[in-house]
């Protein structure tokens, strides 16, 4: 997989990820560690909750999406260093048995003001399930290296 530098990236470029299968154990284990609310831990409570069934913590969906991103089509030289996240939304619940996939689109490319050997790209990351329904979306800015002079 080619590592990309700032000069290789353009507004409108799109990248695809592989997939992750969501399991009941995965949902419950993550919730136990990081979001121990009854509706993420217990099937009966979940059925009677606003989620109407077991659903992954939003932070679990975010973490799985990061896995899809770093193992996906956009490999940045020096790695993916996030400067921040905006407009993170979870329009639909993530369920046991779902298969998640990430689509990444570059929405901005610019030089860094403070680091002359770097630039910043802004991307839109959209996570979808096996039905193509969006389960998470956010915008993020990443630090990207410029290609070194020969």
Site residues (CB under 8 A) for a copy of itself?
A: 30, 33-39, 49-50, 57-60, 62-64, 66-67, 70-71, 78-90, 138, 143
Q: Which is nearer to a copy of itself, 1 or 50 (CB)?
A: 50
Compute the least distance from the CB of residue 31 to a copy of itself, in Å.
10
Q: Which is nearer to a copy of itself, 10 or 34 (CB)?
A: 34
Q: Which is nearer to a copy of itself, 10 or 74 (CB)?
A: 74
Compute the least distance from the CB of residue 71 to a copy of itself, in Å.
7
Compute the least distance from the CB of residue 88 to a copy of itself, in Å.
4
- The rounded distance, in Å, linking the Cα atoms of 83 and 140 is 7
Phi, psi dihedral angles at 127 (to 5 degrees): -100, 130
> Using an 8 Å Cβ cutoff, are 121 and 69 in contact?
no
Q: Which is nearer to a copy of itself, 10 or 125 (CB)?
A: 125
How many residues in total does the chain contain?
150
Tokens 């260093």 correspond to what residue?
Answer: 81
Reading the block at residue 26, the tokens are: 């995965």
Reading the block at residue 108, the tokens are: 């901005």
Compute the least distance from the CB of residue 63 to a copy of itself, in Å.
4
- Tell me the β-bridge partners of 108: 122
- The rounded distance, in Å, linking the Cα atoms of 92 and 110 is 33
- The rounded distance, in Å, linking the Cα atoms of 142 and 22 is 27
Compute the least distance from the CB of residue 67 to a copy of itself, in Å.
5
Q: Which is nearer to a copy of itself, 4 or 60 (CB)?
A: 60
């Amino acid at each position: 997989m080619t590592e990309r530098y700032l000069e290789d990236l353009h507004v409108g470029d799109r990248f695809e990820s592989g997939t992750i299968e969501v399991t009941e154990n995965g949902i419950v284990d993550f919730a136990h560690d990081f979001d121990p609310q009854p509706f993420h831990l217990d099937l009966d409570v979940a059925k009677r909750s606003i989620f109407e069934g077991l659903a992954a913590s939003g932070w679990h969906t975010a973490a799985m999406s990061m896995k899809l991103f770093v193992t996906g089509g956009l490999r940045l030289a020096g790695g993916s260093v996030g400067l921040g996240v905006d407009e993170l939304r979870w329009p639909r619940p993530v369920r046991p048995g779902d298969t998640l996939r990430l689509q990444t689109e570059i929405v901005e490319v610019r030089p860094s003001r403070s680091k002359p050997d770097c630039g910043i790209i802004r991307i839109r990351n959209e996570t979808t399930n096996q039905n193509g329904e969006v389960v998470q979306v956010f915008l993020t800015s990443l630090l990207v290296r410029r290609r070194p002079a020969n």
